[in-house]
Structure 1
Amino acid sequence: MAAQFGRRLRKGAMNTTVAAVAVAALAASQGPGLVTDDSGRQPATGTQPSPDAPAGDSATGNSPYYTDLPPLDSPTPSPSATADPITGDAAAGIPATVLDAYKEAADELRASKPGCNLPWELLAAIGKVESGQARGGNVDANGTTITAILGPQLNGNGFANISDTDNGRYDGDSAYDRAVGPMQFIPSTWAWAGRDGNDDGLKDPNNIYDAALAAGHYLCRFGWDLSTDSDLNSAILSYNNSTDYLNTVLSWLEYYRKGTHEVPDGTGQLPSDRSDEPAGSSPSPKPPSKKPGTQSPKPPSGGGSTSPTPPPSTPPSTPPSTPPGTPQTPTDTVDHLEDAGTAQLTAMAGDTFDERISARAETEAGKGVAKVRIRFSIVGDTDTTFTGGEKVATMVTGTAGVALAPALQAGEKTGDFTVRASVVGRAIPGIGYTATVTARAADSLARTGDEALTCVAGGEFANQVQVKATYKGAAADGVAATATLIKSADDPTANDKGPYFKDADGTAVRTLTGLETDADGLLTLPKLYADDTAGTYLLRITTTGGAVLTVELTVTAAPSPSPTASTSADASPSPSPSA
């Protein structure tokens, strides 16, 4: 971290000169899935989903974005060492600290989620469209924005309708949520997607290192592979659900892939057009105006200079009512949530739950409501996640008002935990689902060989006992097992004579615990020895799940020593009797 922090300080100090960064040009001139105009560029008309369109799993709440498109000409690939790098295409320049944050986030995702194939250029493209690269790199040496970057109120007037979820902690607005920071996360999404990208112990949406890492994990959830067109498009649309947004991001992605270079912080090219404003109007979202008797948001202790203060001590008891004249969205009509028929949620450690959680959004009259965002959150002491490794998933209800959560992937921690379902944007009671992770189990045990297990008294058995555990016919890996040399088939207590194992000190033991099958379901027991008592003995192996196998062991008596014949004899004859 020290080297990394030093690198950031050096980059932040580059006020007059920068180092050029060359990126290999790609053969393709257009991004996947693009809709192009007659000039070969992607249109960005600023069309947004209608106010009642679901924001889905949108990171930004479908907030406005910058619609500027990259130049038609490719960027200058690599300025020479003697040339002023700023003379390269201005649009291709990315502020040093911002560029560093994108690359560090991509490096972390390459290690933690290699199957995602996240390019740093995608983070740069989204950062360009969302905030103009943190307003041209207007960040301090730690990567925190110097002035707040806030979207408009998501009050249903042209945008999604999302009532306040953070009591103004991040966006300074206790009425509605607003998109926050250089990657424009809404507070309700940041609550679960936020990351600490600069290792300062904080998760700050106003910090480019934190926001870039959070954006990377957000784009890589659900097991998406961003090297494929379909998953790439799905990931971008999940960030902001607009086809125009998709095309704009893809345009910048391809542009950055062809070449880019660093520029000093604060000197990046600012966008000029935004999707919710006429072309050429002011591009900067305005922070919320101060109300009488209130203070402007202040950064938390140790954080950047733009993070708002924590919530006030007396938050409003209920979200404000919809402004007069504002049409109700589907979310506004939801009265309560109901379980939509979720069956028992049980899975063994390491397995995928067969049953999926479903919740139904209903009106007061019990009618299902479509196009409502339902957030499913895993709570409790568990390492179980949804498919893709996330603890939170937001799904949209269908025509019947039902939202189906992603499949649960059990971790290794056993026991109960809860999945909580709630309506995004409404302060109505949620519902909880209890799920259980049981220990890995086997329902069958069998020896892998059929050779007789015999030994002479006082000796050692030539063959070790190996068994295979299965569950429903498949190899049962990681299953706990116990092996005991028992007294008889009817008495499972440990024997006090006959065969035995040895512990680390060479002491005879007749019970082994803490055994576990390997990845193939195999378990090989340590070598067996025999004392001087001949006979037939039993070895019993049991596993979690109830699988039992009893193995017969035979100890034969040691042969008696053969007597040695005398080879000496008295050859002297007896004296003859006298005549």
Structure 2
Amino acid sequence: MAAQFGRRLRKGAATTAVAAAAVAALSASQAPGVTVDDQGRQNTGDATSVPDATVDGDDSATGNSPYYTDLPPLSSPNPSPSVGSETGTGAQGATEAGIPATVLDAYKKAEAALREKKPGCNLPWQLLAAIGKVESGQARGGRVTADGTTVSPILGPQLDGNGFALIKDTDNGAYDGNATYDQAVGPMQFIPSTWEWAGRDGNGDGRKDPNNVYDAALAAGHYLCRFDWDLSEPKDLRKAILSYNNSTDYLNTVLSWLEFYRKGTHEIPDGSGSLPVDRSDDGVRPGITPSAPGTTPPARPGTRPGKPSGSRPTPTSPAPGGPSAPPTTPPATTPPTPTDTVGRLEHAGTASLTAMAGHTFAERISARAETDAGKAVAKVRIRFTIAGDTDTTFAGGESVATVVTDASGVAVAPALLAGEKTGAFAVQAAVVGRSVKGVAYKATVTERAADALVRTGEKALTCVPGGEFAEPVEVRATYRGEAAGKVAVAATLVTSADDPTENDKGPFFKDADGKAVRTLTGLRTDADGRLTLPKLYADDAAGTFLLRLTTAGGATLTVELTVAPADTPSPEPDPSSDPDPSPMETPTP
């Protein structure tokens, strides 16, 4: 059966001993934490990896939702078997090991996009494939339309705290259709509060749809790369996977599929993939069959499947010959969570923020969660959102960050990185899962500036009337001793040292039409703060002229330009015109 990935002996082994020997050899290449017993079964029970820190459900991509636990086939997919093959894993193994065409294309396109946007992340498409396999069985075996949208929505069970994380509704049911609790959505199983900021448009249709495999794969890639992790480093790879779902078993299951896909895989037709059924929530809720992705999640007590929350329950009769339903036991009263006790959110000493474009804001935003009585509330999720027309981001390149309050009730947002757009914007802080008034912080990005400007050469700049200057004007801008890159510079041929108005004679630049201009704007230094001005020409006026350069931030440099006729060399004597030599005196006899 397709679900028995982790419990199948290799085909073709004549005896248990032969199979065990073959599996032992294969196990050396398995992911860390995955072991193989003497009967050829893979498991993660002996895994020693543990998460770096406790991650609350809403701080993971999936809300720590259930996932498929099936492990890869024991036979490598390289060379790729055909679907009808009777060798290797056979036809069933081919569909288990293969990846549906559209889904595979989405993973590879996401890898290419991240290679351009975040090259230091080194995201492999095989990691997206491994997560997609564990989260949704590759979009339910590739049951997607031509544009990558799942034939029907993929929904995880509602996160109501009954065997799962407790995440109350954050999207009013917009993504998951549940206005009471959140549910993970789509082939990569994002919870709505994460998709709200992590969602991407991967297929270029102008929408961010968690049920579209192109959108979901690109969003997953950005999510895994958000903290400047280098996924070619095992430590960062581990952190990234645990941030997706904070479970050691989840980590090892994903690593198993990652290693399997790295050895080689093959494309299969859309809709032909097999769907695993072993899930991490098997038996979590006694008497309730876990909902597989794409099926209606279990109904809450007191509701009828297909009815919205709050509908009057309809008594049902037991099936003929079946046992009578046990009496319903009133649910125990759930103690309030820290989030339930928050009465207000306050500024935590953050002043107004200002930074130069391309620089990191010196101060970080912080907010404090308090009860109505003013007592600090720890372990509360605070979501910081950058709002306004700005390209400023938090460290990692995202516009949203969720931080848990510490023992003093304070959550400190990641550092802000100023973009290139100047002007004011706001950062809004709100309590996740609690309707209390948020707080806003004003921030401003100023243009790049320099406080010093110098020539990089010392050679005199000279030209003859009507000619052109052989030496270009080269300068370097700095700010507080460091190179000032991308700083705006203006250059003007001024009348005199005391008169900054544009001169009407002397040296000049040429515009695109070849006409003389004596003022240039829109110049910018390069990343090293250097700038080479366009070629300078001279009219017929001779003398000493001044070129003044100014930068944003007030740096100024005045350069002397000399226009003078070329020196006239002294004529060489013409031998043919030399006078006769003086007659020699005749000696006296």
Q: TM-score, normalised by structure 2?
A: 0.77
Tell me how far apart the structure 2 counterparts of residues 197 and 535 of structure 1 sit (CA, whole Å): 62
- Residues 1:77 and 1:41: Cα distance change in structure 2 (over 3 Å): farther
Answering whether residue 307 of structure 2 is matched by residue 291 of structure 1, we say yes
Give the aligned partner of residue 396 of structure 1. 404
CA distance in 2, matches of 1:480, 1:404: 34
Task: Check 1:399–1:243 CA distance in 2 against 1; reply closer, same or farther (3 A cut).
Answer: farther
Which one of the candidate residues 58, 65, 74 is aligned to 2:60? 58
Equivalent pair of 1:161/1:425 in contact (CA under 8 Å): no
Q: Mark the CA change 1:550 to 1:93 in structure 2 (over 3 Å): closer, same or farther.
A: closer
Aligned residue for 1:221, secondary structure, equals coil
Please state whether the residue corresponding to 2:126 is helix, strand or coil. Answer: helix
Q: Which residue pairs with 2:30 in the alignment?
A: 30
Pick one of 168, 171, 179 that aligns with 1:174.
179
Q: 1:496 to 1:360 in 2, by over 3 A?
A: same
SS in 1 for 2:65: coil
Alignment partner, residue 504 of structure 2: 496
Opposite residue 445 of structure 1, the aligned amino acid is: L
C-alpha contact 1:77 1:258 (8 A) present in aligned 2: no
1:269 is the counterpart of 2:269: no
Q: Match for 1:287: what amino acid? A: T
- Correspondence for 1:467: 475
Deviation, 1:294, is: 11
Aligned residue among 236, 239, 262 for 2:241? 236
Asked if 1 retains the 8 angstrom alpha-carbon contact of 2:35 and 2:46, the reply is no
The aligned runs of 1:476-555 (5 Å cut-off) are: 476-555=484-563
Number of corresponding residues: 507
Distance in structure 2 (CA, Å) of the matches to 1:127 and 1:557: 76
Give 5+ residue unaligned stretches, structure 1: 1-24, 296-322, 563-579
CA distance in 1, matches of 2:173, 2:150: 18
Q: Deviations over 1:155-174 (max 9, x none)?
A: 23333332212211221111
Task: Report 1 or 2 for greater relative contact order, CA contacts < 8 Å, sequence distance ≥ 6.
Answer: 1
C-alpha contact 1:445 1:469 (8 A) present in aligned 2 = yes
Q: Residue 271 of structure 1: SS of its match in structure 2?
A: coil
Q: How many Å separate the matches in 1 of 2:339 and 2:309?
A: 32
The one-character-per-residue Cα deviations of 1:512-533 (angstroms, maximum 9, x if unpaired) are 2222222332222334344444
Match of 1:376, SS? strand
Q: Secondary structure at the match of 2:501?
A: strand
CA distance in 2, matches of 1:427, 1:104: 39
- 1:152 lines up with 2:160 in the alignment: no
| 1:253 to 2:258 alignment | yes
Q: What is the alpha-carbon distance in structure 1 between the residues aligned to residue 189 and residue 380 of structure 2?
A: 22
1:530-557 Cα deviation digits (max 9, x unpaired)? 4444443322211111001122334447
User: In 1, are the aligned partners of 2:34 and 2:256 still within 8 Å (CA)?
Assistant: no
Within 1, Cα distance between the matches of 2:127 and 2:566? 77
Paired residue for 2:202? Answer: 197
Q: Secondary structure at the match of 1:536?
A: strand
Deviations, residues 150-206 of structure 1 (Å, cap 9, x unaligned): 222222333333221221122111111111122111111111212223333332212
Task: Tell me how far 1:455 sits from its aligned partner.
Answer: 4.1
Task: Specify the alignment match of 2:71 in structure 1.
Answer: 69
Residue 441 of structure 1: aligned partner: 449
Partners of 2:388 and 2:374 in 1: how far apart? 31
Alignment partner, residue 132 of structure 2: 127
SS in 2 for 1:88: helix
Q: Structure 2: which 5+ residue stretches go unaligned? A: 1-24, 298-304, 312-330, 571-589
CA distance in 1, matches of 2:469, 2:127: 63
What SS is found at the alignment partner of 1:151? strand
Per the alignment, do residues 159 and 495 of structure 1 end up closer, same or farther by CA in structure 2, a change over 3 Å counting? same
Distance 1:264 1:505, change over 3 A: closer
User: Structure 1: which amino acid aligns with 2:307?
Assistant: K
Matched, 1:411 2:413: no
Matches within 5 A, 1:15-26: none
Structure 2 counterpart of 1:508, which letter? A
Partner of 1:424: 432
Please tell me whether the aligned partners of residues 344 and 355 of structure 1 are also in contact (alpha carbons under 8 angstroms): no
Deviations 1:239-282 (A, max 9, x none): 11222221222222223333434444444333333222329955
Q: Confirm or deny: 8 A CA contact 2:57 2:167 kept in the other structure.
A: no
Change (3 A) 1:491 1:66: same
Which residue identity does 2:29 align to in structure 1? S
Q: Distance in 2 between matches of 1:513 and 1:422?
A: 44
Opposite residue 97 of structure 2, the aligned amino acid is A
What is the alpha-carbon distance in structure 2 between the residues aligned to residue 281 and residue 161 of structure 1?
A: 19
Given the superposition, is the C-alpha separation of residues 172 and 44 from structure 1 closer, same or farther in structure 2, using an over 3 Å criterion? farther
Q: Given that residues 450 and 552 in structure 2 are in contact (C-alpha distance below 8 angstroms), is that contact kept between their aligned partners in structure 1? A: yes
What is the distance in 2 between the residues matched to 1:418 and 1:214? 24
Cα pair distance change 1:192/1:495, threshold 3 Å: same
Partner residue, 2:576: none
Q: 1:533 to 1:56 in 2, by over 3 A?
A: same
Identity across matched positions, percent: 72
* SS at structure 2 position matched to 1:545: coil
**C-alpha spacing 1:453/1:80, structure 2 compared with 1 (3 Å):** closer
The aligned amino acid for 2:338 is P
1: CA distance, partners of 2:207 / 2:26: 37
Query: Once the two structures are superposed, what CA deviation does each residue of 1:326-348 show, in whole Å capped at 9, x if it has no partner?
Result: 23222222222222233442222
Determine the structure 2 residue equivalent to 1:336.
344
- Check whether the contact 1:395–1:404 (CA below 8 A) recurs between aligned residues: yes
Matched-pair contact (CA < 8 Å) for 1:95–1:136: yes
User: 2: CA distance between counterparts of 1:461 and 1:264?
Assistant: 67
Equivalent residue letter for 1:346: T
Structure 2 CA distance for aligned equivalents of residues 525 and 36 of structure 1? 65
- Name the stretch that deviates more: 260-269 or 246-255: 260-269
**Distance change in 2, residues 1:535/1:121 (3 Å):** closer
| C-alpha distance in structure 1 between counterparts of 2:152 and 2:464, whole Å | 85
Which amino acid is the alignment partner of residue 238 of structure 1?
A: S
Per-residue CA distance 1:286-324 (angstroms, 9 max, x = gap): 5253336999xxxxxxxxxxxxxxxxxxxxxxxxxxx97
CA shift, 1:99, in A, is 3.2
Secondary structure of the 2:523 match is strand
Whole-angstrom distance in 1 between the partners of 2:425 and 2:343: 26
1:365 maps to 2:373: yes
Q: How far, CA to CA, are the matches of 2:267 and 2:36 in structure 1?
A: 30
Offset, 1:362: 2.2
What is the alpha-carbon root mean square deviation over aligned residues? 3.4
Moved more, 527-536 or 376-385: 527-536
- Seen in structure 2, the aligned counterparts of structure 1 residues 35 and 359 have a Cα distance that, compared at 3 Å, is farther
Shift, 1:93, TM fit: 3.6
